[in-house]
Structure 1
Amino acid sequence: MTDKRSGSKKLWKWITAIIITLFVIIGGASLYLSLSWKPVLTKKIKEVVYRGSGHLYQIDFKDIQLNLLSGSVTVDSIFLRPDTAIFAQRKKAGTAPTHLFQVKLARLKLRHIRILQVYFQQKIAMNDIILENPSINMIYNKVYKKADTAKAGRSLYQLISGTLKSVHIKGIKIADADFDYVNGSTSLVLNSVKHLNVQIRDFRLDARSESDTTRFYYTKDVFFELAGYHAVSKDKLYTMKADTITGSATGKKINIKGFKVIPMYPDLAFSRKLKIQKDRYDLVFGQVSFSGVDFMKFNTDRVIHAKALEIKNTEARIFMNREMPPGKGNKGRNFPHVALQRLPVPVTIDTLKFKKVNVAYTEYNPMSQKRGTVNIDQLNGHILNVTNDSLSRVKNHYAAADLHAQLIKAAQLHILINFDLSSKNGAFTFKGNIGKLDMTSLNPLSRPLGLVEIETGQIQKIDFEAKASEQGSEGVMQLYYNQLKIKLLKEGEEGKPAHQKGLLSFLANTLIIKDANPSKGEAVRTARIHYERPPGASFFNLLWKSVYTGMRETIGLGIIPMKSPEETRKAVVKKMEDRKEKKEQKKQQKQGEKRND
């Protein structure tokens, strides 16, 4: 029994010794091969990058660590850079790419790579590549492709086929990258993002993958995600945030959730920092979704094309302070279809969709010292052919909008707008209708901005149609209403509410105001829309002022001329000076009373 136990122990000792010896031999061999293969692998990596890019890129790194047992490779301190001399030659020949890349990263990991297969069969097969904390510069260059060279370049597989037979990587992960989009001609950073994550699925490069139409640049998909985006505008007046930005190359989509443009200061304080009249924006986009995005077109030609862009669950608050001087600029250049033409890249959105968008446009009237707001709620609809691309405009130079909304929380609005994308003066046409409305619902707007209070009045409907441009608008309106009665108000001072101008209100209702359309026994009156736009008026201001002038003429106020912007500004300045003078007099009076005490 003792002999058996002794023999068993000896057997296990032998087995243990053999296993340890095998591990030492394998480990030593692995270490030897790793050290001896390091220069071979280093040379092979640099050769593949250089040849595979058509001599356009070179790669340098500090160290490479190879583990034959696990099939892993770790490369430290990598720098991938383009050869500017080669790029210049290819640009002159018309064969250069639109974008160059410059990449720095601390560490690159290649896992489960079949190293012997690489050496003996010239095939690369691995599970994944991980790029940790890379810094990526994507450099845009204006490149003119020559007609005879546009399709003459060799494919990526043809470039590497002399060195490798195939490459297959199940996944590539780029973690926490800093990404800059740079203008190559000026070296200016056009856009910059931090903490970008990218996942590339099933990269395959061989003779067959070249013609696989289900792949995007040899991959089954490129997915990117940016979480917690945060930036400050160049003028330091806005903060921009986004919860998440995600996209898929083969899915041809981009989704942005929780994007916000947040002003740094309250409305009046914000406007007074600008010194002149400018809109203040407070925007919250619940969801912005692009679909049918042509990523390939953007990469090769720097052209943005999407089949659809949907803006959903959005709140847009716009504020204007009329106490500030108007400035010398012409806001006609900011009409939506005019501003679109100034974008630095060609853009085409086949259909721009709106779902559940609420817009609030507020003006501060320094005469009444009150705010008035026009609310456009539950905006739904679409705009077709949103483009600044010259070739697209040759086919169709109109963008057509069809929009439905609730106006001032009381009436249904339907409007059609036809934007002339080729117009030099921002020309467009619009027509639409407004449904039933209790006119007293207009008081939150008419009291602070027009110093008019509507006592009674019912609108049955409004039909309008006009042509417009930077110069103004011309058109017609039919306003059906009855039982209209108003009060004319005088602004209150020192916080007191506005009060009625009794005699003038009586005279207005008796001699000027027409209380109905059609009047009893008469045909429906058709009013003329005529509005001369001042340079400081925005697109939205032009629309509602055009409708307002038609309403004024219909109810009888058309015989009273509207003040010009200059006259209005003079009145505002005088009123503000009078208030300042009175305030100073009261201050001096109080100081005198204190001295007498």
Structure 2
Amino acid sequence: MLGFYAEQQIKKSFDEDLSGILTYEELDVSVVNRRITLTRPEINYAENNMEASEISVDGINYYQYLVNKKIRIGIIEITDPEIILRDKEEDSATGDSESEFEEDIVVNSVEIKNGTLLKTENDTATTDMFLSLRNFRITDVSVNAEAMKKKIPFGYDTYNFEVDSLRMELNDQHNFSTGAFSGDNGNFSIDDLRIIPKYDKVEFQRHIPYEKDRFELLIKNVSLKDLSWIFENDSLRLESSLLIVNRGDLEVYRNKLIRDDPRIKTLYSEKLRNMPVKVDINEIQVKNTKIVYQEKINEDRPPGEVEFYEVDAEIQDLTNIGMGQEDFPKTKITANALFHNETPLQINWEFDISSKTDAFTISGNLEKVSEGAINSFLRPAMNVEARGGIESLYFTYSGNDDAAQGDVRIVYTDFKVNVLKDDGTEKSSFWSAVANLFISNDAVNDDVENNDLEVTRDKNKSFWNYLWLMVREGALASFI
């Protein structure tokens, strides 16, 4: 009698309490086996939709439900779900409905197999995100009135998942995708992470209102250790002991013929300080990465190009949490690379995310820069050709958001400048002679150190422009 009553109550609850939300082809309730199976269920809630081959609920504790009104379940399995999430405006009444939640639900395990997830804009066919899920498992799931008030409306103990692929729109000009990735209780591995431009370089400039970088990125693998996340005061907080970026390939293209972006560009310390997401990453490692920067300056010539190969970097203490404490750590970056695949380059960079002056120090050195490496940028970008190479270049600067002061030492051999004709094939003897008048006659072979240099930052340009001004200031002081 108790079993029959329980069966009838469950069917009534599905058909009446979930009317308009849940439909299905078949409902099978086995009181003896403590199992409920829904065949071809479809759930529609708040404009979101899920269809599945089957949902099974196993290990139901009828006694707890009938006597204590508590729902206790062994396992929920969802097979072949297709989930569609649609963006919608926040419902101001959400908080009231959450406060009325009175259920006490505990599920030992929730498992999803072979699912897809689509996120779209409301009333459009545009897909903002597509995820192909191989499997997902989460244990000790608990839902109650207190949990429903939180950003993540349930508690859990452990989780693991495997995803075949992810695609989503990053912004109006770029898409984002990954290959397979997996997560297991804080340890993540992501293969073939990509940022893909929607347009080629010519078409790209028709879709931007002002000068803007076009990114093309492939990272073979990204891994995170001990990743955890919580919400604090409506802000997401992410913590990880180690982030590894392995075998990246980044190409950045900028067309300088488009009008400038007039907005102020903040330094990285300010960006991190004011970021809505709180982060605390103990260490970031970048391994065996290539970076190519191209800059189009003249319509009639190809872009100038700067290349960095075999980039290896370590970043320590990337955090914007606890910025008021006295022992707040500075972020330290050490990077090594081959400039144009031939010249060793080392950079040491340190900044204080908590400093509202955006104080930093940066130093670096280049060894044996050939004229070919120099001209890969000067010749196409500026129609200027250097003769002779730089034996070594050292710089060290301390600065903030306004200005930087520092020293530059440069050693060079037989250095001269040729100004090319308009076709870029031969030098213009007259203008080359004029240019070389400005290079010190005594400095054709020299070892020059310039101290107490000062550079004022152009706040409409990026930190990398700022760094370029520091190096250029020292080079000009050496040559002229």
Report TM bin, short chain.
0.7 to 0.9
Q: 2:162 aligns with which of 225, 243, 251?
A: 225
Query: Which residues in structure 2 correspond to 1:211-222 (within 5 Å)?
Result: 219=157, 221-222=158-159
Give the drift of 1:456: 2.3
Paired residue secondary structure (2:181): strand
Q: Residues 466-545 of structure 1 correspond to what in structure 2 (within 5 A)?
A: 466-490=397-421, 492=422, 496-506=423-433, 508-509=435-436, 512-513=439-440, 514-518=443-447, 524-526=448-450, 529-545=453-469
| Alignment correspondent of 1:241 | 177
Number of aligned positions between the proteins: 447
Which of 166, 173, 176 is matched with 2:112 structurally?
173
In the TM superposition, what is the alpha-carbon distance from 1:540 to its structure 2 partner? 1.8
In 1, the alpha carbon distance for the partners of 2:19 and 2:351 equals 49
- 1:383 shift after superposition: 1.4
Cα distance in 2 for partners of 1:174, 1:549 equals 60
Residue equivalent to 1:381: 313
Query: 1:368 and 1:480, CA in 2 relative to 1: closer, same or farther beyond 3 A?
Result: farther
The reply on whether 1:344 has 2:283 as its aligned counterpart is no
Unaligned runs of 5+ in 1: 1-31, 51-56, 83-101, 142-158, 183-190, 206-215, 519-523, 557-597
Residue 551 (structure 1) aligned with residue 475 (structure 2): yes
Q: Secondary structure at the match of 2:204?
A: helix
Q: Please say which structure displays the higher CA radius of gyration.
A: 1
Q: How does 1:61-460 map to 2 (within 5 A)?
A: 61=22, 64-67=27-30, 72-75=35-38, 77=41, 109-110=55-56, 113=59, 126=74, 129-130=77-78, 132-134=81-83, 169=108, 172-173=111-112, 175-178=114-117, 194-196=131-133, 198-200=135-137, 203=140, 219=157, 221-235=158-172, 237-248=173-184, 250=185, 252-295=186-229, 302-330=236-264, 332-333=265-266, 335-366=267-298, 369-391=301-323, 395-396=327-328, 398-424=330-356, 426-457=358-389, 459-460=390-391
Work out the percentage of aligned pairs sharing the same amino acid. 19
CA contact (8 A) 2:412 2:446 kept: yes
Letter of the structure 2 residue corresponding to residue 241 of structure 1: S
CA contact (8 A) 1:263 1:281 kept: yes
Change in CA separation of 1:460 and 1:377 when aligned onto 2, cut-off 3 Å: same
Higher mean C-alpha deviation, range 224-233 or range 343-352: 224-233
Structure with the bigger percentage of helix: 1
Residue 414 of structure 1: how far off its partner (Å): 0.9
TM-score (norm 2): 0.77
Q: Summarize deviations over 1:28-62 as a string: whole Å, max 9, x none.
A: xxxx997654224458999xxx9xxxxxx999755
- Tell me what 1:577 maps to: none
| Distance in 1 of aligned mates of 2:346 and 2:474 | 17
Matches within 5 A, 1:12-51: 36-41=5-10
1:139 and 1:349 mapped to 2: Cα distance? 33
The one-character-per-residue Cα deviations of 1:126-154 (angstroms, maximum 9, x if unpaired) are: 5652263355799999xxxxxxxxxxxxx
Q: Tell me: CA distance 1:114–1:366, structure 2 relative to 1, closer, same or farther (3 Å).
A: closer
Distance 1:62 1:392 in 2: 54
State the partner residue of 2:145.
none
2:43 and 2:327 mapped to 1: Cα distance? 46
- Shift in CA distance, 119/346, structure 1 to aligned 2, threshold 3 Å: closer
Query: Alignment partner of 1:526: what SS?
Result: strand
Please tell me the root mean square deviation across aligned C-alpha atoms, in Å.
4.4
TM-score of the superposition, structure 1-length normalised? 0.63
CA contact (8 A) 1:368 1:451 kept: no
